[in-house]
Structures are given as C-alpha cells and as structure tokens.
Chains A and B, each alone.
Chain A
Amino acid sequence: MFAANFEYLRATSLAEAHRLLAANPGAKLLAGGHSLVPLLKLRLAAPPAVIDIGPITELRGIAGQGDSLRIGALTTHAAVAASAEVRTSAAALAEAAAGVGDPAVRNRGTIGGNIAHADPASDLPTVLVALDAAVVAVGPKGERTIPAAEFFTGIMTTALRDNEIVAAVVVPMSKRGVGSAYVKFAHPASRYAVVGAAARVAVNKGTCAEVQVAVGGLVPHARRASAVERALTGQPAEAASFQAAAARVREDLGGDVNGDVFASAEYRAAMAPVYVKRALAAAAARAGLT
C-alpha cells in the first residue's frame, strides 16, 4: 500500500507524452492505473517517473474504421463491454471485457493499459489474437500497426518499443454469418484466466467456412490455435466436429504451458480442448444468430 516515490507528469497530447517519455528514461505510462498502481503499491515497480496519459482525449472512444472497429487505448473495459458496436461485431471482445476483474476494475482499467501490461493470464490478448486485431503503436515519428499475434511476445513483454505508446486497437468486424465468443476458466481468487479460449467462426450453409481460434492463460502469451483452425475449416458446424477439432489444440500449445499451485500445466493442457470446444460452439451458435 506504500509506493516508492516517483515524479508525476501529466500529458494532454500524444506529442507531449512522447516528449516526456524521451526526457524521462525509465518512466512508466499511467492510463487507468489498474496494471501499474498495483505494482507500485507492492513496490514491484519503482519507476523514477510516471506519465499520466489519462487526459489525452484523442485516445478515448470506439469508432468504425472501414471493416473494423477502432478502439482508443484509453477506452475502459466497461465501455468496451457496453458498446453496442462491439457486442454486435466482436462479441468475443465484449464478453472478455465484461469478465475482466470486477465492475470497479472495469470502470477504470483500459484496453491499452491491459495489453501493454501483457499479463499472460489476461483475457483481452486472447480475443485480440483470435480476431486478427491489430495494435496501433505511436512513436515520436509516427504510427505503425502491429498484428496482435505479433504484439504479444512473452510473459509481460510486447513488441512495443520504449518510445511507443499504444494508441488504439483495431478489430475486424464480424459479418453476417460470423460469430465469436470467449470462454474462460477464471481463477477463483484473481479472476484471471487459468485457461481462456476465443473463437470466431464463419458458418456457411452449416459448414465452418472460416475459423479463427486463440488460447491464453495457460501459455506465456496468447497464441493462435492453427491446428484447431485447420481441423475445423470445412467441417460441419456441429458438436462432434467442434470436439474433434478442439482436441487438436494440444498441437498448438507447445512445450511451455504454465502451471501453478492452483492448476498444474498438465491439467491446464487437458482443459484447453474443453474450453476451445465451448468457445467454438458458442461462436458458431452466434454465427447462426447473425
């Protein structure tokens, strides 16, 4: 509860934030504070300076951008979960956002802060990877777009450079006949994902035409389940094929499944097919509804 001292700097524009970042090596960015403040309180982080980007209004809000939704980095989980656009065209993301932490956490925590923190047990990365979302990172010399699958590189590490700030997340919108879902095995204490599975399924005349799946929580960072995707593509959208395809997720997990005192790596690996299957079924059901 007693953070070490730091200097507090406030940015009202991206340009100002970049200036402050350049002038203060080692400074940390503060958005909603729900990733950084807990670290500060326990002195697990003790940066010399904290740059509050909360006042940068251009980083807030959800807007259509072609076939995608652009979600500003400072958009709170509550806003993402409540957004009609997100619920309609990226249901898995709304579902994941609605399950982050608890209501008060969702009122302050932001999508940008969440993904920059890159906790392996976080929910949003799994969905963003599954949905082929991209992260807009802005550096002093302009912005670049990083596919979500390349953004998350390890436990609490990302492709973000020291002088870059997450400005937005761009999420492709589901079209008619496409559904997405996120299902989660929540840790009973932390509410983080022990296993999380996100899926987007395009159903055409009862067949899974396109399949996108990612898993998180049990691996160092969210990753695509391409073996599952291949196995299900072209198969009938029914329970037996979901189960058969989901079983292939073991090929996607790799050798670095996390285990801890609550759930061993072996158990988590055994749960991955179950949660993938459930995510596929839920996504396909939604595809039928849209």
Chain B
Amino acid sequence: MSVAATAPAPARVFGSGIRRREDPRLLTGTALYTADFTLPGQAYAAILRSPHAHARIRTIDTARAKAAPGVVAVFTGADSDGVLKPIPCAWLIPNSNLKTAPYRPMATDTVRFVGDAVAVVVADSDHQAYDALELIDVDYAPLPAVVDPQKAAEAGAPHLHEEAPGNIAFHWTVAGGDIDAAFTSADVVVRDRIVQQRLIPTAMEPRGALAQYVPATGELTLWNTTQNPHIVRFIMSVVTGVPEDRLRVIAPEVGGGFGSKIPQIQGDFITVFCAMQLGRPVKWVETRSENYVSTTHGRDHVQEVELAATTDGRILGVRATVWAGMGGYLSTAAPGIPTILHGLMLSGPYQIPAIKEDVYGVYTTTTPVEAYRGAGRPEATYMLERLVDLLADEIKADPVEVRRRNLIPPFENGHAVATGLTYDSGDYQGALDTALAQIGYDNLRTEQAAARAKGRYIGIGVSMYVEICGLGPSQVAGAVGFQGGLWESAIVRFHPSGKVHVFVGISPHGQGEETTFAQVVADELGVAVTDVKVVHGDTENTPMGWGTYGSRATAVGGAALAIATRKIKEKARLLTSHLLEAAVEDIDYADGKFFVRGSPDKAKTIQDIALMANVAWNLPQGMEAGLEASSFYDPPNFTYPFGTHIAVVEVDPETGHVELKRYVAVDDCGRQINPTIVEGQVHGGVVQGIGQALWEQAVYDQNGQLLTGSLIDYAIPRADLLPDIDVRSTVTPSPHHPLGVKGIGEAGTIASTAAVYNAVIDALEPFTVRSIQMPLTPERVWRAITAGKGA
C-alpha cells in the first residue's frame, strides 16, 4: 500500500509542486505583518516587565513617567484589574486535579517570572515610550525562585500560587495493559533520566498587536500576530467583555509561529486595554529580548523512564514519570501538551502491551510554557527512541533490528494501542526500509568500523515516530478538557464569471495554504488554480475556525474545503441535469465539464453552471440561487503520520564538536497536495529538531534569571552548521480523510532530535557513553568522552 515517492509526477494540480501564490508579495516587501500597520493617531505601548523571577510588588510610582515628554498614559495592574479578567487557560485536563491560578494581564501584587508584565507606557512615539519606561519606580520584595520542575514539586520548594499546593498544577495518568506484570516478567529493564530542555520558539517575527477601539460604536479591531484569530476573538471577548460581534481580529501576514503564536499573551490584552482606555489606536511590538522572557517557551520536561523487554528484544512495557514545567502560569493550551499530545503517544510505532505514565504539571518561576513545534510528541518520540537504543545496547543487538522486532505490522484502517488511541493507517516497516536503503545503512556500519580503527568517531542514529495530528474530533476535545471545538469550516463561492473565492477558518503563517487549498479546489472543480483565491486570517470575512497548529490546517481545514467543494459539484450536477434535460444519474463529470453520459458534446462547463446558478434565470424548482457551499468538518478520528529518520554524525574526540554529516528523512503524511511544500515543511522541522539536539537551550540561573536571553546566547540553527536534508516519502492515505492526507507540519521536529542524539551516542560507543544531557554541546560531549576514557 505504500507507494515510492519517485513515481512519475502527476498531471493533476493536486499532487503537483507548483510555485506558491503567497510569494510575490513576500519577495517584494509588499506583504504587511502586524508591525507594518500604522493607523491615524496611533500611539505606542512599551511594557515594563519584572526583573525578578518572584517578588511581591510593594509600590509602583509612575509619576515621573507620566510627566515625561510624549507620554499619553501609564497604567499598572491596579488600573487593569477588574476591567480585564485574568487570562484563561483553555485546556483543562479532567481527572487531573488541575489547579488554575489567576494569570493577570498585568501583575498586581506578585510577579512570578522575569518578564511578567508590571506596567505599560503609552506615548506618541515608540522611543518616548521606552524613555519613560525607565522612569517608573517599582519597589519589589524579592521572593525565592524555583526553575527546575522536579525540584519545584519537592516538599519545601518555593511556592507560587496558594491555589496550587506543592506547585502541582495537575497530575495526569495514562495506563493501559498490565504494567506491573510487564516489569515483573521482564528479562531486561533499561532506564534513563531525560531532561527535555526548555526551548524558545523564536519565530522570526516577534509578537505584536495593534488595537483600534471606537467608543461610539463599541467596536474593537485587533491586528495580531496569531496562529488562530478566531480563538483570539473568543478569548479577547471573555477577558475584555467586548462582545464577539463587535470584535474583529485580523491575522495579517504572520511570520512563523511554531506554537508561540497560539496563546494570547499579556501584551495582547495590555494593548487592547490601552486602546480602549484612550480611544486611540495603540501598537505594541515586542523586542526580541522581550520575546525571550515574556512570550512562551517550549518543552521543559524531566522524564524518568524505563522499558521492560525480553532478552530477544521484545518490548513488554514502558513506564515513565514526567515533571513538566508550566512556568509561572498556565498558558492557553499548556496542560494538554505533556498529557494528551505526549502521554497518549507512548506506543509510537511499536507493539507495546503495557504503558503507564504519570505526568506532573508543575508551576515554576519561569516564562510560561506552551506548544512548540511538535508539542509533546517530540518528547514522546525521543523517550521511546532512546529506550529502544538503550535496549539494543543492553542486549547487544543492532538498533534497527530491535525496532523491526517490535513494529506494528502494516494496517490500512485502524490499529489500537495500549494508551487507548486507534491509529488510522500505517506502514512503519515501509518507511524504515526506505530510509535504510536511502542512507545505505549496511555500508555505513562498515565505514563506521573502518573509521573507528583510524580514530574517527562516526555515529548513525535512527528515529522512528508516529504522531497524532489533525486535531481532532470535537467530542474527544471536550472529553479531554479542551475548551473549544476542533472542527474547521470553509466556504467556497463561485462568482458569475467562474472565478472562485474560498474562505477558510484556519490561519496559515508560512505553510502556504493559499496555494495548497487552491490546488484542492482547482482539482476538485476542474478550474484553473489561478482562478481560485483563498481568503483567511480576518474574523470579519472568514468562517469560524480553531486555528493552524498541531499539523491540523490541511488535515481538518482541507477536509472541510474538500467537502464544501463536493457540495458545489453536487449542486452543479443537479443544475446541469435541469439545463440539459437529462436525468441526474446520467450526468457525468470529467475535467471541469458535466455531460450526459454517452453524449460528451452535450456538456456544461463548471463556469457555465456558475453563471447560470448566479443569474438564476432557469433553476430547477426549489433550488436556491448562487453556487456556493460551506462545510463544517469535524474529523471522525485523528490522523497519524509516521516515518523514519536517520542521521550520520562525526564527533571530534579532542573537542567534543559534533558535525552532522548526512541526514535522511522518510515521512509519510498520506497523500501530498504539493510535494514541494511538504519537502519544505520537513526541511524546517528537521532543522528545528536538530537545534534541540545540538544547540538550543533556555538556561535559567538559580535566581530565575534567563541567561540565554537573546540571540547572542541562544543558538538557533544557522545555515553553515547544517548538511542537506535528503527528504523522501512513502504514501499511506488516511482512510477517514476525504483527501487521504494526514499533516506534515511537525513531523521533522518530532523525529530529528532523537535521530541526531542517537547518532552521537552511537559514535561514542567506544567510550561507553550511555547518556548526555541535551543539547549536546561540545563541552558535554567532551566530558562524556573524558569520563569514558577514564572508565
């Protein structure tokens, strides 16, 4: 059922790697991002942020700032408290004893992370606002900080919220199969303590907001750097009290998100508050340094994991305890990430009879943690792929062979795993074989041995994954505490001239759905792709949608679009039968034409039908005018993309430097609408995961100060540190998706961290290295080698 991606390119626009429609405006500097808008009378906001990780605010003196040149107003939490409600958490995991605590847009009495908002200056110019910021005097009484989630959960740790005893935000458990029996009967148990270090998403466009409030009408318009404008409208309405029908949210061009533009952050609400108080447009754009302390972070798990197996390498069970740092407050989707998106994925591509995981969400005096590309799934994949490699090491078997022994056999429609999920379709063996062939695995092992004999340390790392995408059935969303639905909607509208307008609820920010969605519509309706325009990002003219994250835009939004398009086709068929005076069941469709079966000359193009439907001169009885359809698609199941990635590294034993020499990615995201875009998603995803393995880490000191607070210290991957990524694919359609697609946005990140990490550990095998904390900085690798030499 898998098809090699080297098959001849299809003639259809669906499946064709056409150039993106988005690009001309982006290439010429004419695209407008939030920071690029300026409204008449606009003022600028600069936010004063806590320099302390944890402190009581004794007093705030804003008098000098208010008197500074150009200053329009200075507000503190005392001004906004009661006007703005606390920022709600939108994923309230049931049966987890979840304890929320008020997350105020501006702190009132206590700050709980460096970067917590304390006051705002609004001035005529941005420079004046920042000048005045220095004139606000805040008297803080520092309190003790705690930055490590495991330590924060210990008795006697500094305490953040009275609502959450012991700093425990929630305790969630997933269990399937008889885990005690698995470990009791095991021949082999391997264990590890894994730190999934805290990462900073670093979308290249920082966050920002521009708010315009018209007191006379009570209407609020917000330009916002967001992945989900409709959720922003919903939550903004809850926090500000502005009714949703008076609230318009525009996500204009958005410069990447990677999860950091899912949540509504303090700056968004502060900007809106200022605009409403002043009746004047207010713009706030964070600086990168501000972004690093105040916009969300990702990962931050401490994982104690163990795997039970037989001596011949069959996995019997996986057990884990995870302490997931939440930061000072629960961000919008935070609790769902280490639980639903992580714990439920602990079977990966393997047959594992018993799984149990305890997850503690823990408050720490750090920047709130949110989704970051992959969100929970990289942490699960990494955990499993480490354990499988440790098992291979323990039983002296090839890591690929151990994987093979445990893979779920190919299935086309449904496979249940111990965590309770039912995967849609998969051919894990196929992806593995493709990757092994592409990298030349057997030869590589020979080369590795030869290199070692010469004192060169080459390593090969394999990572297999299954991810959960296409979030998701709304009924499941409700059952797992998500405070919203997870369906998507689309409207497809034919104009009389035969041009097509598509309006979607999802909100791309780099993924290219203006192109891929046009391809879907063009393919379904037989119109030119250039005749289809996709509109998104403005709540005023797009139907409701829950946003672009979790690789769901195409998996859910694309399905809504396909169904709306098919409704149009059905109506067109009816109208054709009426106009050609033939029975509906005798009307065939091919290549944009409806015709009477057996009489291809008796035909109407879709454009003919669009015109006739719109002028409505001759419609069948009961048919409404126009050629337009909408769809609300609520998926029956998640989609489960999968794949195998293999990395080859060389370690410099003198310095500990890791050089990434080769990388092969084989991903299966079901049918591909635009393989060029799929490949681009994999490139970027893989590189972000490599970043976690080798370079990226947000480091706090004991006092809760972020030591990696700028791009001078926080190392995101750069071009010269990377090899080409060799991207391949297999195609296993999702059985339940109208287009057979699954989603590709996060696959690369989910797989690559473990692939690179396993490769480095493999390279260091002669030094008997088992485990090194990520990122694998030269010093850490060097220390492991040094310790290994001494052993």
Contact = CB atoms under 8 A, between A and B. Distances in A.
Do A and B share a direct contact in the complex (Cβ within 8 angstroms)?
yes
Contact of B715 (A1, A4, A188, A270): A188
B33 to A, nearest CB: 16
B760 to A, nearest CB: 15
A267 B713 contact: no
B777 A263 contact: yes
9 contacts: A2-B126, A2-B127, A189-B714, A190-B713, A261-B699, A261-B707, A262-B779, A263-B777, A267-B783
Interface in A84-121: none
A267 B779 contact: yes
B131 A4 contact: yes
A270 B715 CA distance: 23
Contact of A189 (B46, B287, B712): B712
Most B Cβ at <10 Å: residue of A1, A187, A188: A188
A239 interface: no
Nearest to B128: A2
B185 interface: no
Given A190-B713, A263-B777, A2 B130 contact: yes
A274 interface: yes
B767 interface: no
Contacts of A261: 699, 707-708, 713
B7 interface: no
Interface in A239-270: 261-264, 267, 270
Given A189-B713, A189-B716, A271-B655, 13 more contacts: A1-B287, A2-B127, A187-B715, A188-B715, A189-B695, A189-B711, A261-B713, A262-B713, A263-B777, A263-B779, A267-B782, A267-B783, A274-B655
A261 B713 CA distance: 9
Nearest to A195: B655
Interface in B768-791: 777-779, 782-783
A188 B695 contact: yes
B9 interface: no
A15 interface: no
A221 to B, nearest CB: 20
Contacts, number: 47
The 7 closest A-B pairs by CB, nearest first: A189-B715, A188-B715, A2-B130, A267-B779, A190-B712, A261-B707, A274-B654
Nearest to B780: A267
B708 A188 contact: no
A267 B131 CA distance: 41
Nearest to B700: A261
Given A2-B127, A274-B654, A264 B779 contact: yes
Contacts of B695: 188-189
Interface of B: 46, 126-127, 130-131, 134, 287, 289, 654-655, 695, 699, 707-708, 711-716, 718, 721, 777-779, 782-783
A185 B655 contact: yes
Contacts of B287: 1
A82 interface: no
Contacts of A188: 695, 715, 718, 721
Contacts of A2: 46, 126-127, 130-131
A261 B135 CA distance: 32
Contacts of B779: 262-264, 267
Interface in A189-216: 189-190
A16 B699 CA distance: 47
A42 interface: yes
Nearest to A263: B779
A201 B655 CA distance: 24
Contact of B782 (A1, A190, A262, A270): A270
B550 to A, nearest CB: 29
A262 to B, nearest CB: 7
Nearest to A270: B782
Nearest to B126: A2
Interface string A18-51: 0000000000000000000000001100000000
A270 B718 CA distance: 26
Nearest to A267: B779
Contact of B777 (A42, A43, A262, A270): A262
A4 B129 CA distance: 11
A267 B783 CA distance: 8
A48 B721 CA distance: 41
A2 B130 CA distance: 7
A141 B287 CA distance: 44
Interface in A161-189: 185, 187-189
A2 B714 CA distance: 22
Contact of B778 (A4, A5, A263): A263
A274 B699 CA distance: 28
A190 B718 CA distance: 11
A187 B712 CA distance: 9
Contacts of B127: 2, 5
Contacts of B699: 261
A67 B715 CA distance: 42
B747 to A, nearest CB: 25
Contacts of B130: 2
Most B Cβ at <10 Å: residue of A4, A264, A267, A274: A267
Contacts of B708: 261
A278 to B, nearest CB: 9
A188 B695 CA distance: 7
A251 to B, nearest CB: 20
Most B Cβ at <10 Å: residue of A1, A185, A274: A1
Nearest to A102: B718
B284 to A, nearest CB: 13
B706 to A, nearest CB: 10
A162 B287 CA distance: 33
A44 to B, nearest CB: 11
A47 to B, nearest CB: 15
B783 to A, nearest CB: 7
A187 B695 CA distance: 10
A239 to B, nearest CB: 13
Contacts of B655: 185, 271, 274
Most B Cβ at <10 Å: residue of A1, A261, A262: A262
Most A Cβ at <10 Å: residue of B127, B130, B131, B779: B779
B779 to A, nearest CB: 4
Contacts of A185: 655, 778
A264 B777 CA distance: 11
Interface in A269-284: 270-271, 274
Nearest to A194: B778
Contacts of A190: 712-713
Contacts of B711: 189
Contacts of A262: 713, 777, 779
A261 B197 CA distance: 14
A117 to B, nearest CB: 15
Contacts of A43: 134
A55 to B, nearest CB: 26
A230 to B, nearest CB: 24
Interface in A51-104: none
Nearest to B657: A185
A11 to B, nearest CB: 25
Nearest to B125: A2
Contacts of A263: 777-779
A270 B781 CA distance: 13
A263 B714 CA distance: 13
Contacts of B718: 188
Contacts of B134: 43
A4 B68 CA distance: 13
B552 to A, nearest CB: 32
A270 B778 CA distance: 12
B88 to A, nearest CB: 32
Nearest to A38: B712
A87 to B, nearest CB: 21
A210 B735 CA distance: 75
A263 B782 CA distance: 11
A5 B715 CA distance: 31
A261 B198 CA distance: 14
A203 B782 CA distance: 33
